[in-house]
Structure 1
Amino acid sequence: MIDAHHHLWDLTAVHYPWLAAKGVSRFFGDPSPIQRDYLLPEFRAEAAALGVTGSVHIQVGAEDPLAEAQWVQTIIDANRDWPMVQVVHCDLTAPDLAQQLDVFQALPSVRGVRQIVGRAPGEDAQTGTNALLDDPRFLEGLMLVGDRGLSFDLQLIPELMGKTAGVLAQAPRTNVALCHAGSPHDRSPEGLTAWRQQLKQLSQLPHVWCKLSGLGMFQHRWTVEDFRPIIETCLDQFGADRCMFGSNFPVDSLYSDYETLFRTHESLVPDSLRSQVIGETAARFYRF
């Protein structure tokens, strides 16, 4: 079984500006409880207790993405009994993208890249991240990533799905993992209906897959029933062969412990599909 989306950080080894900024609230809430080292032994103890046997590390806002990737590689090298691969950050619009990818791909654990398109309404509109979709270099970068055998982890919000689908349709050789089920931030009946409609534009693209992850970021005091319509919609639209579980720890540890989160996802996936969603799909996508 594989956890397809989690983070690790050592605040003495790599600098993460958002983890160093005290008293600054983020779109997912107050990060202060996780503004500390979060290392493999802590993550592994919780995950392995539930039968998880490997994982995918996702970049998480380091000041120097290469330093982060190199640090993660040292963790992987030192823990061969815990299979782990990683997704790194890379600016797909950078003029030296090919050279950056050369350096990243020298690390044997690198399977893909992530550049966040949208985290939450307002936050990325201020930073200009949403403008990536209008930049022709972004599409060119997506195509280059796929040509190199790498995948792309896509984080965005439902309002951006239509435009994003138009871009992704032009890069069919690049496998894409939609992070956090597309971040359905409006959990009202109307909000979920709009999310379903927008999600369809992505799920209809056969090279786009979906992560059942990060569902607590926009609804902190959640219940199993809060997650049910999201997980069932993703399974219906993508199928179990394109859906994979991710804990988004330690970010989602702000709202629950690992066992509660894992058991909730497990209970909402039919028995016949569970081995795919909690393992097989991620193993195929990230080439374990």
Structure 2
Amino acid sequence: MLSGIRADLAQARQDFLVSGDDRLLPIVDAHHHYWEMRNPHPWLTELPRIPFRYGDYEAICRDFMPEDYARACAGHRVMRHVVMEGEWTPDDPVGEARWMRALADASGEPQAMAAQIWLDRDDVDTVLQFYAEAPLRGFVRSVRHKPRTTSREAFRADWSVPGSMRCPRWRRGYALLAPASLMFELQAPWWHVAEMVELANDFPETTIVVNHAGMPGTRDEDTLRQWRAAMAQLARCDNVRMKISGIGVRGEAWTPAHQAFVVRALIEDFGVARCLFASNFPVDGLVVDLATLWAGFKTLTRAMTPEQRLALFCDNAVGLYGLC
């Protein structure tokens, strides 16, 4: 049982435990976005559009706010929100966090944020100081800087370039996260697992939250085999947590059957206590609607105990991000 949580969440947990009714399962969405097109998100507001793993993303180049999320998740009990930075212009790295804090004050959502950081820039100390002061202190719980990566075809075991996880300047910035009591949101494809493991082992006091299941990509047998081996290797690092999110495949239907191997492999390798579900909306709205996504995750966990399902859908995110 979680301690220190507010009455609404405590009651929701109890309602589900007593009834077993999936409609009452409390959900914390541990990774999604809010944005307005009037704000500086170059990838959403400027032309030409960038290459994107889900292909044409014109459909998400529009406002997505709390009321839009609420409509999209009808039939599910999403009670807390952790919003991920949405690639606000890097010229103003704290601007999005300030905007998100104002949104939270006005609407009650989100309850926490993973904010933008540029670990290899000269302003990293200044940005971290902003996050440590009111009104962002306690609201910004984690930060993300997507390290420089390469394609599977171009990858080499000795990959080390400026901006990558092996870049000395990038690592100097990363070393500042533990003293700032911030977690790191790591988004990189699975073939960079050696760098991920090095990062986890070299900085054991920093919690790494892997985004989007280590980006398995296509579902051919060879890819899944190699992805699974990479994730099993990463799971041996005790300071790593796994977000089961962003697992759509361009041009393929998002169904429980299609996602079963990925979801169950991660839960088996990392354990229930280190996994958490998230939607990655509105981005994953390019491949699935929100209600179907949550229903799919529920279907895939139906054989688990109520306590295990609460952990995956709610409790782990509450504990990780300090929600109440």
Tell me the TM-score normalized by structure 2.
Answer: 0.82
- CA distance in 2: counterparts of 1:129 and 1:16, whole angstroms: 26
Q: 2:214·2:231 contact (CA, 8 Å) conserved in 1?
A: yes
Runs of 4+ in 1 over 6 A off after TM superposition: none
User: Could you say if the C-alpha distance between residues 85 and 70 of structure 1 is closer, same or farther in structure 2, counting changes exceeding 3 Å?
Assistant: same
Structure 2: stretches of 5+ with no match in the other structure? 1-26
For residue 46 of structure 1, report the CA deviation from its aligned partner: 3.0
For residue 27 of structure 1, report the CA deviation from its aligned partner: 2.0
**Residue of structure 2 equivalent to 1:113:** 143
Aligned to 1:271: 304
For the pair 1:29 / 2:55, whether they are aligned, the reply is: yes
Change (3 A) 1:132 1:196: same
Q: Which amino acid aligns with 1:266?
A: K
SS of residue paired to 1:132? coil
Q: Distance in 1 between matches of 2:185 and 2:161?
A: 15
Query: Unaligned stretches of 5+ in structure 1?
Result: none
Partner of 2:169: 137
Question: 1:121 aligns to what SS in structure 2?
Answer: coil
Q: Max radius of gyration: which structure?
A: 2
Query: Is 1:102 aligned to residue 125 of structure 2?
Result: no
Distance 1:83 1:249 in 2: 13
Q: Partner of 1:39 in structure 2?
A: 65
Task: Tell me if structure 1 keeps the 8 A contact 2:211–2:242.
Answer: yes
Deviations 1:104-162 (A, max 9, x none): 2221311010011267737x99xx98842221232232231122111000001011011
Per-residue Cα deviation, 1:18-57 (whole angstroms, up to 9, x for no partner): 1023453422211101111111111133336401101110
CA distance in 2: counterparts of 1:33 and 1:280, whole angstroms: 32
Residue among 104, 109, 113 paired with 1:76: 104
Change (3 A) 1:102 1:211: same
The CA distance in 2 between the partners of 1:34 and 1:254, in whole Å, is 8
Aligned to 1:282: 317
Q: Does 1:173 pair with 2:205?
A: yes
Give the 3 Å change call, closer, same or farther, for CA 146–129 of structure 1 in structure 2: same
CA displacement 1:185-244 (0-9 Å, x = unmatched): 131011000001111221110110000100115564232111000000100111111100
Q: Percent identity, aligned pairs only?
A: 28
**Any conservation in 1 of the 2:28–2:314 contact (CA below 8 Å)?**
yes
User: Is the 8 Å Cα contact of residues 118 and 157 (structure 1) preserved in structure 2?
Assistant: no
Residue of structure 1 in register with 2:223 after alignment = 191
Residue 18, structure 1, aligned to residue 43, structure 2: yes
Tell me what 2:117 maps to. Answer: 90
Letter in 2 for 1:283: V
Aligned residues: 284
Q: Offset at 1:99?
A: 1.7
**What's the counterpart of residue 56 of structure 1?**
82
TM-score, normalised to structure 1, is: 0.91
Distance 1:234 1:172, change over 3 A: same
